[in-house]
Amino acid sequence: MRTCLWVFAVVLVFGFVDGKKIERLRTERISGSAGDVLDDDPVGRLKVYVYELPSKYNKKLLQKDPRCLTHMFAAEIFMHRFLLSSPVRTLNPDEADWFYSPIYPTCDLTPMGLPLPFKSPRMMRSAIQLISSNWPYWNRTEGADHFFVVPHDFGACFHYQEEKAIERGILPLLQRSTLVQTFGQRNHVCLNEGSITIPPFAPPQKMQAHQIPPDIPRSIFVYFRGLFYDVNNDPEGGYYARGARAAVWENFKNNPLFDISTDHPTTYYEDMQRAIFCLCPLGWAPWSPRLVEAVVFGCIPVIIADDIVLPFADAIPWEEIGVFVAEEDVPNLDTILTSIPPEVILRKQRLLANPSMKRAMLFPQPAQPGDAFHQILNGLARKLPHDRSVYLKSGQNILNWTAGPVGDLKPW
């Protein structure tokens, strides 16, 4: 009975509000420091030197497999392209605040389009050996003023299975560098303090092509499309998504409030724009492109991933725009969501409608003020100036070049 009353209230709020009121409710600026940070302009606050590396580290990989341009790890490619023409780029390394190495460590795809991270450590070591031999800047800090884009499932741990990623740990040569990565989880060996957590790549033009009129009612209460079980990699079940996705399916597959399925319809983007809540559960890693899609399409993200560190958390007020559900509370998901007052939902939707929020989650071509490229630069600018302690004394070494698995030490 309570659920029926809540659904009736939703229909009243979302289906029959007059057009003028909808217009007044449509957007809301983020208040306080979060909104100010989101609108920061990094130009003039930092200078970045882009190393010129042989094409085998980047362009040749892309030429070999153009699919790398569209997969969810493509930020490594577009960040390179952006920096080449960015006003923060300097051609004089002596005046640089940061040094960037254009390496595409996830552009090695299976026939199914899944990135293989197993060559990435050797590629990284090879590139670092090159820049440390040909330029003096790496050696003076052992990479503390360098940043790398490592957008794989578990970042610079370079494995798609968490247990093995933890066993590997972050590549030793990257321990002092700033890592720009999609993976973020508190108290995890694959997330260094000071790393910049970014959104995964989602194709902006494709998403724009599927926009529907904003006044179409949101008639779907909860929406999700994706795997609940990964029978190929987790045949016994329970390991994939730490059982959270399986719990969603087992508890709500027959619940009329939940539009959930493994099917991926051609109307996927349109359906998200017709939904009030979009589930964003962890998979093999805690993050997924659904976070980006939900924000862009104004669907309140329901984040099911304990201890997740979300993209640009110092600029995007995730607590205000999303709903956080502990993995162990998934069986109570219906009660949790139907208990949220309509006025709270409306405010979350107003915040999500703010164009600044959407821009911050995307890597558009060409770049736009406030987009994900600029949020990364803002994150780097906020880490300046570098503490004097990062500069090593003559003859001082901190990193161990022979540390790590034996396979990582082989030439690339």
Neighbours of 115 (CB within 10 A): 22
pLDDT tens figures, 228-272: 999 888 877 778 999 999 999 999 999 999 999 999 999 999 999
What are the angstrom distances between the C-alpha of 200 and each of 86, 180, 270, 378? 21, 11, 20, 18
What's the pTM value of the predicted model, to 2 decimals?
A: 0.91
Instruction: State residue 236's pLDDT score.
Output: 73
**Average pLDDT for 124-143:** 97
Domain boundaries, the chain: 48-201+370-386, 204-361
142 residue type, one letter: E
Q: What is the Cβ-side half-sphere exposure of residue 195, based on CA atoms within 13 angstroms? A: 30
What percentage of residues in the chain have a pLDDT greater than 70? 91
- Write out pLDDT tens, residues 338-365: 999 999 999 999 999 999 999 999 999 9
Say if residue 220's pLDDT is above 50: yes
pLDDT score, position 23: 41
Taking the domain 204-361, which CATH number applies?
3.40.50
In 109-228, at which residue ranges do the beta strands (DSSP E only) sit? 146-149, 178-181, 196-197, 220-225
**pLDDT for position 29:** 63
pLDDT tens, position by position, 316-329: 999 999 999 999 99
